[in-house]
Amino acid sequence: MADGGAGAYREFKALAEAADRKFARARDLPLYGGGDHHSRKAFKAYTRLWRLQQERRRELVAAGLRRWEIGEVASRIGQLYYARYLRAAEPRSLVGAYVFYEAIYSRGYFGAAAAAVGTDGGGGGVSRHQALLIRYKELRFIARFLVVAMLMRRAEAVDHLAARLRALVEETKAAYPKTNFKEWKQVLQELGRFLKADGAYKGSRSLRYDNLFDSYPSNLVSIARFHSKRVLKLKEAVLTSYRRNEIKFTELTLDTFRMLQCLEWEPTGSYQIAAKELTENGTVSDQSGPSGLIDIQLSTEISDGSLPSNPQKAIIYHPTAAHLLAVLATICEELSQDSILLIYISASGSAEQSFASQKFGSSSSRARAASAFPTDKPNSHNSSDNHLWLGPRGSGGPNNLYPDDLIPFTRYPLFLVIDSENSHAFKAGHT
């Protein structure tokens, strides 16, 4: 039994190293312009790893497998689910990420390590330094869980996780007084600003389109009338925001967070989340044990065939003008003839413009967001406000994005939304 456990543990470690390498390759690739095969390989590797720890968990635990290692594998699977959601806009993938994150959190896979410092018990004795590294893993995990909970509009879960993150940072600062937690202090400040700005939407219906209120089938006739020979579909969207002092959490700004939801349909089906651990004879085991079976049961109704698929979205955080244009060129290279590309850019007109409007919430809620139909008079601007500013303070002209820069992409069906005080410069026929 001992030899079998040691062999299983060596196999687990070898599979974990191989899966980590595949995960690193998938993580480093942008969520647009291909790269799906790397994500699939990583997902396959972690699925194999997860099954191994399910089938031989007693041997693995006896050989030294710790709860936080199980939690790390589950966290990676959750990240892959979330990346698939961003890449393919599948609601099922977002739910999958939530399932794994909720199971990790409810079972305290990472938290057990803090209680096992210098012991030989439950989480496996760990050094003080290793316990700090595991605590960092837990903090990053909760931050990722928060983003998924926000996207699913789980208000109670968001409030609970936000409070837990604050408490965990304070607890860690007290336990490790010589460690610098400036970065996490900034994360908490960003989270507070984000939740305050987004708080107005609590209790209201989702920003996503809902077939109960936004009837898609009834619009088919009018759409076909305008496109009798060519029916266009919104297949791709590029969402980006670049403003100083903007409201954001991690690399998701409030502008792109809201636009992301506005471009999706609310699933009409229901799903059930079941997270349970079983013993070999099929009975439910104690949740505090070191096993790792997370059973996902998703209703097939979560993907409603009567609704159109969500467009794929590339979310770009603080791009340079050159980077944004490169992304657009890459996406257009693979755009089909019946596809519409939506481009949403939220940015200031110049480096000197203040952000007084930001304290009132996201600029995407202002009426001037619909830049394709601005209310400004044609002669109300001059040559100094005919661009968007994509760059840090004090940088030069290469960070200006001009309307002419987007002309090559008008060869494709294009829907452009410019959220800026200089949106009038992008009015069709103005330049």
Judge whether 195 and 151 are in contact, CB under 8 Å.
no
* Domains (range + CATH), the chain: 1-117+126-197 (no CATH), 217-265+308-350+398-426 (3.40.50)
Confidence of residue 409 (pLDDT cuts 50, 70, 90): very high
* Pair of tokens at residue 246: 């903007």
Residue 125 pLDDT greater than 70, yes or no: no
377 in the Ramachandran plot: left (φ > 0), alpha (ψ -120 to 50) or beta? beta
DSSP type of residue 358: G
pLDDT digits (tens, 9 = 90+) for 351-369: 655 444 444 444 444 434 4
Among 18-32, 90-104, 271-285, 342-356, name the one with the lowest average pLDDT. 271-285
Confidence of residue 96 (pLDDT cuts 50, 70, 90): confident
pLDDT digits (tens, 9 = 90+) for 187-229: 999 999 999 998 766 656 667 776 666 665 555 555 555 555 6
Judge whether 83 and 26 are in contact, CB under 8 Å.
yes
Q: What is the pLDDT at residue 356?
A: 40
Q: Per DSSP, which regions of 33-121 are E strands?
A: none
H or E element that contains 241: strand 233-242
Q: What is the pLDDT at residue 215?
A: 61
Q: What is the pLDDT at residue 429?
A: 58
Q: What is the pLDDT at residue 344?
A: 96
Q: Could you give the 3-state DSSP secondary structure of residue 263?
A: coil
Confidence of residue 95 (pLDDT cuts 50, 70, 90): confident
The CA distance from 238 to 339, in Å, is 13
Residue 378 pLDDT greater than 80, yes or no: no
Q: What is the pLDDT at residue 216?
A: 58
Q: How far apart are the first and last CA of the chain?
A: 77
Judge whether 170 and 177 are in contact, CB under 8 Å.
no
Candidates 174, 111, 98; CA nearest to 137 is 111
**Mean pLDDT score of the chain, rounded to an integer?**
77
Residue with the bigger pLDDT between 267 and 365: it is 267
DSSP type of residue 239: E
Query: Taking residues 394-398, what's their average pLDDT?
Result: 67
Q: What is the pLDDT at residue 203?
A: 57
The CA distance from 325 to 345, in Å, is 12
Confidence of residue 105 (pLDDT cuts 50, 70, 90): very high
pLDDT digits (tens, 9 = 90+) for 39-69: 889 989 998 999 898 888 889 988 888 889 9
* Pair of tokens at residue 78: 């959750």
Q: What is the pLDDT at residue 207?
A: 74
Judge whether 55 and 15 are in contact, CB under 8 Å.
no
Strand 233-242 relative to strand 388-389, pairing: unpaired
Q: Which of 98-107, 216-225, 371-380 has the highest mean pLDDT?
A: 98-107
The CA distance from 160 to 156, in Å, is 6
The CA distance from 109 to 141, in Å, is 11
Cβ count near 415 (within 10 Å): 13
Q: What is the pLDDT at residue 116?
A: 56
Strand 233-242 relative to strand 312-317, pairing: parallel
Share in percent of the chain as helix, strand, coil (round to 5): 55, 10, 35
Q: One-letter amino acid identity for 363?
A: S
Percent of the chain scoring above 90 in pLDDT: 35
Residue 393 pLDDT greater than 80, yes or no: no
Residue with the bigger pLDDT between 331 and 337: it is 331
CA 392-394-395 angle, 5° bins: 65
Q: What is the pLDDT at residue 217?
A: 55
Query: Taking residues 365-379, what's their average pLDDT?
Result: 40
